[in-house]
Structure 1
């Protein structure tokens, strides 16, 4: 059964611990799609010169490269040393998908989707074994009862959740439809059709509007 877990991790116990010590006002958001051997991190809060200094002096960071910039934030490709525990690799090992990862005020906030609920406990234990102290803030299953009341299929519900978590509905958008389709492992067209069906289901169910275009209910898992 698919489960969603919201987890908090002290940044001091990760490779960015020294960075937060040097720049406590730092805000971090993990880039969802980036082609590199490191981690794409959007950094904001301090000035860019303060960020550069904190990255350069952090012993856990081997290399950092400025890639792009947005409104008062900068995208860096950051490579950590081999001794640094990669939390995201541990998540992948447990068949988890990081839907959102941000850090501020010395704490990482992760939203992770797991194919199996038991994987949450396994990840928790593996983090503790690596001297990382996770706190499970919220854990819920994507059961039929959660979304059926809104007229959504499981895939439609999961797609909307992923779209929200990846910032697809933000202004401006934090992820394109192509990037979101790549993240979900489906085609651009399939994602577009799934979202349209989900929008229609929400409108017709929540606003009690009859869907006159569908004289015969369509049977679909999307």
Structure 2
């Protein structure tokens, strides 16, 4: 089960924090891939036009090696910046230590980096936090929540887990072949249940699949004599 986390990263070694301090909006949005590529030096930065930041201003930043304007998106100026990361940052975010997916653009404020990321589990997040703290980078957790497990494909047909298991076993053993390659008794033995229980699972599963496929509940019409 994956985790959605929101947290703030605080360190004087982080890029763009001083830039955010100098802006009227005190805010810079950017996208980066540090969790995937620890040596990544490319950031895509989004700036409010009212902050009046020029290409020359960005090039003058101590951490910026190369600046490339990309135009405008959603009313904001967009730049691709190649930067020189301090060693503590590139070491702390070494990709072999953990993996996370950036869910929204990172927001840089005078307080640090605000991130919203997806982790595989709590150990993965805690590993990142511990690793960063070893390098003097503080992680303040804002929120953390579990995401529901991914749909395995069976629930979309309304099958229970046991019905799904029984039908898959029956198909794999040739129960629906002509002639049949397996009996309900043999299938029941494999699932360690009684033969009547196996027959019931198959019957109910088949009924559910047919009902779903036909798009309506079965209707019993009165027979006229």
TM-score tier after normalising by the smaller chain length: 0.5 to 0.7
Q: Superposed, which structure 2 residues align to 1:55-134 within 5 Å?
A: 55-83=58-86, 85-86=89-90, 89-90=93-94, 93-106=97-110, 107-134=112-139
Does structure 2 retain, via aligned residues, the 8 Å contact 1:100–1:111? yes
- Structure 2 distance, partners of 1:66, 1:214, is 53
Aligned CA-pair RMSD = 3.5
What SS does the aligned partner of 1:21 have?
A: helix
Match of 1:41 in 2: 45
Does structure 2 retain, via aligned residues, the 8 Å contact 1:29–1:102? yes
Match of 1:148 in 2: none
Deviation at 1:139, TM superposition (A): 1.0
Match of 1:147 in 2: none
1:215–1:138 Cα change, 3 Å: same
**Gap runs ≥5 in structure 2:** 34-39, 154-211, 218-225
Q: Superposed, which structure 2 residues align to 1:1-222 within 5 Å?
A: 1-10=1-10, 12-31=12-31, 38-44=42-48, 46-48=50-52, 50-83=53-86, 85-86=89-90, 89-90=93-94, 93-106=97-110, 107-143=112-148, 153=151, 214-215=215-216
Give deviations 1:90-148, integer Å, cap 9, x for gaps.
4674121111133254242211111122011110112222322111111111245xxxx
What SS does the aligned partner of 1:134 have?
A: strand
- Structure 2 distance, partners of 1:112, 1:70, is 23
Give deviations 1:32-75, integer Å, cap 9, x for gaps.
89xx9611121225444x34354223211211211121354111
- Structure 2 distance, partners of 1:119, 1:88, is 14
Q: TM-score, normalised by structure 2?
A: 0.54
- Structure 1 distance, partners of 2:57, 2:26, is 10
What SS does the aligned partner of 2:82 have?
A: strand
**Gap runs ≥5 in structure 1:** 145-151, 156-210, 217-222
Larger Rg, first or second structure (1 or 2): 2
Q: Which region of structure 1 is more displaced relative to structure 2, 24-33 or 129-138?
A: 24-33
- Structure 1 distance, partners of 2:11, 2:44, is 16
1:42–1:213 Cα change, 3 Å: farther
Q: TM-score, normalised by structure 1?
A: 0.55
- Structure 2 distance, partners of 1:52, 1:126, is 34
- Structure 2 distance, partners of 1:45, 1:87, is 34
- Structure 2 distance, partners of 1:83, 1:120, is 22
Does structure 1 retain, via aligned residues, the 8 Å contact 2:101–2:117? yes
